Amino acid sequence: MIPSEETGGRLIFPLIFARAADALGKLVDHVGRWAAWLCLPLIVLLFLQLPLREIVHAGNNTDNDFGQVIFAAFFMLGIPFAMRHDAHVRVDIFYQRLTTRRRAAIDLIGTVLFLLPWLALVGWYSLPIVLNSLFEMEKFAETYTRGYFILKLQLLFFVALVGLQAIANIVHAALVLMRTPGDHR
């Protein structure tokens, strides 16, 4: 593709990829911000569980089941959000001292060689389990409460959202590596 005047003499493909990666990131952002609100019902359910059960003798294990579902959603949907904002746990003794290009190279290599294959394995091996649970509308084993399948279904959402964020990270890292060393756009 020939660089044009309106793109400042740059190729248009990096711009398209950057916009696509930003769109993926915004999707992950939207889901993550929505998932953050799950913290409130989770706290209420888990906080009230003990007093209801021990003091009032009114609680039951169904509250615990719902708490597990909400916690799993909070956790599984929060991981891609943390990944997007680089807020996940990382051993960055050396990483923080590296240049932007070297960090981008590490992110690119780590995502392609480790994260994507791991996600593929998780997705591949969990798909039959999740589908079986979904088709059977699996219940919690202890309480027979409907909804256990939701816990397993969240695994696929996790794989999909982390995969989308991984693609966005790959594009951003590749764009950093494609820039000339003195270019700080």
In the chain, where are the structural domains located?
Answer: 12-84+96-178
Task: State yes or no: pLDDT of 146 exceeds 90.
Answer: no
Which range is least confidently modeled, 17-26, 91-100, 126-135, 170-179?
91-100
**DSSP 8-state secondary structure symbol assigned to residue 85:** T
**Tokens (6 digits) for 144:** 């027979």
User: Could you tell me the pLDDT band of residue 4, with boundaries at 50, 70 and 90?
Assistant: very low
- Please compute the mean of the pLDDT values over residues 5-17 and round it to a whole number: 67
pTM (two decimals): 0.82
- Please compute the mean of the pLDDT values over residues 132-158 and round it to a whole number: 91
Contacts of residue 185, Cβ cutoff 8 Å, sequence gap at least 6: 179
**DSSP 8-state secondary structure symbol assigned to residue 91:** -
Q: What is the tens place of the pLDDT at every residue in 69-112?
A: 888 999 999 999 999 888 876 667 788 888 999 999 999 999 99
d(CA 76, CA 156): 9
User: Could you tell me the pLDDT band of residue 54, with boundaries at 50, 70 and 90?
Assistant: confident
pLDDT > 90: percent of the chain: 47
d(CA 168, CA 36): 21
**Mean residue pLDDT across the chain:** 86
Q: Is 35 exposed, middle or buried (0-12, 13-18, 19+ CB in 10 A)?
A: buried
